[in-house]
Structures are given as structure tokens and as C-alpha cells.
Amino acid sequence: MRGRWMRAAAGLLLLSAAGAAQTPPASPAPPGPLERPVLLIIDVQNFYFEGGTLPLAGSVKASLQAKVLLESFRAKNLPVIHVAHMPKEKPSAPDPLYAFHPNVAPRSGEAVVIKHYADAFRETDLLDRLRALRAETLVICGMQTHMCVEAAVRHAADTGFRVVLAEDACATRDLKYKRTTVPAASVQAAVLAALNGTYAKIAAAAEITAALK
């Protein structure tokens, strides 16, 4: 009897594994209505573009999708916060590489948060600004996906915000570990896969703009 039961259980496991192998992974569903959203644009600065100190793969394309989000938030008079990474020691003269990229440059009156660490919440007034806005949903985009964007997503979710991450409005780069080079596309996919569900809703910029009230 025991042997028969074990053979039956093994057969069920094989059938289950075969079914799982044949079923393609489901794509994330579009986000539902976004309650009290705030757009957070992280580090879309000139040093991440061609001619900069750390150009990313697809940074121009990502910045254009960030621009789609920015223009949609502006059109609906929804709050926007721009985040810029700056050196701790203030340079003697403005460095154009640290300037916001023209595709998403802040307008007069739009909030700007200066940070010195990967996490936009660390030693900044970002959380105070969000609480003052009574924000419930953070729409996040920017650069680099695997570093400052991921840090902000995790901190925001752990603080209690609903987070929607714009997958096509973020950019990253190839990473190396020992003798292995991980292509930017694989870095991007790994970060999005890790964040999806537990920490953020992953969606395209067009899906996010469609969900704005």
C-alpha cells in the first residue's frame, strides 16, 4: 500500500511539474485606480547619458517614458517630486553633469529633493513632503533601476505606501561580479522580478497614465 501511494504521489508531482513548465508566466495586470498619487522621478541626470560619467543602457528611452508620466501628472495637477543625487561636498562651480536631463527638468514650483545616498529617504525631507501631501500611492521611475530606484521602492513600501514602478521609465547598466558580466537587460529583469508583487506593482508608463484620475 505504501509503495502504491508513493508511486501515485510521484506521478502527481511529475504531472504538476510538466503543467508548470508548459504554462507561460502571467504578465502583471495593469494597476487599478491610483489613490492620492505622487510621482517620484529619481536621478534622471546628465551623468547617466551619453557623454556622462556613467551612461546607462536605454537611458534616453527611459527618460522619454518618464517624461510621459511627468506630463500626465502635470496635466492633472498632481504632485511631482524630483530627486537628484549630489556629492556631499558642494562643488565650487555648478557641474552640468549633475543637472537634470532636459526631458524631465523640473518646472518652477515643482519640489526637488537633494540626496547623498542611494536611498532617497535617507537624511532628506522626502518622507515629510509625502506626508504633507497625504500621499498614498508613489509612482516611481528613474535611474539606476538596481540601485537608487530599488532602494526607494523598498523604503517606500516598508513605510506603508502603495508603490507603482514604471518598468519602461527606468534604466540600468551591465554589472560585473568576479568573472561574470550580467547584461543590463538581465539586471533590469531581475530587479523588476524581485520587486513585483511584494514591494511594488510593476506597470508600463502608458498603463500608469491610464489609471490616473
Asked if residue 45 is part of any domain, the answer here is yes
Query: Residue 28's pLDDT is what?
Result: 63
Query: Residue 27's pLDDT is what?
Result: 56
Asked if residue 75 is part of any domain, the answer here is yes
Query: Residue 15's pLDDT is what?
Result: 36
pLDDT averages per 10-residue partition of the chain, 213 residues:
45 41 52 91 98 97 98 98 92 86 97 97 98 98 98 98 98 97 98 97 97 90
Asked if residue 22 is part of any domain, the answer here is no
Which residue matches cell numbers 498603463?
A: 207
Nearest C-alpha neighbor of 142 from the set 121, 165, 173: 165
CATH of the domain at 77: 3.40.50.850
Chain centre to alpha carbon of residue 109: 24
Which residue matches cell numbers 508600463?
A: 204
Where do runs of H (alpha helix) occur along the chain? 2-22, 59-75, 126-132, 150-159, 184-195, 205-211
Asked if residue 156 is part of any domain, the answer here is yes
Query: Residue 32's pLDDT is what?
Result: 75
Query: Residue 23's pLDDT is what?
Result: 43
Nearest-angstrom CA–CA distance, 152 and 210: 23
Query: Residue 5's pLDDT is what?
Result: 42
Asked if residue 195 is part of any domain, the answer here is yes
Asked if residue 178 is part of any domain, the answer here is yes
Residue type, 118: A
Please tell me the total count of domains within the chain: 1
Nearest-angstrom CA–CA distance, 3 and 174: 51
Query: Residue 213's pLDDT is what?
Result: 81
Domain with 112, as residue range(s), is: 31-87+98-211
Query: Residue 11's pLDDT is what?
Result: 46
| 68 contact partners, CB below 8 Å, separation of at least 6 | 169, 205, 206, 209
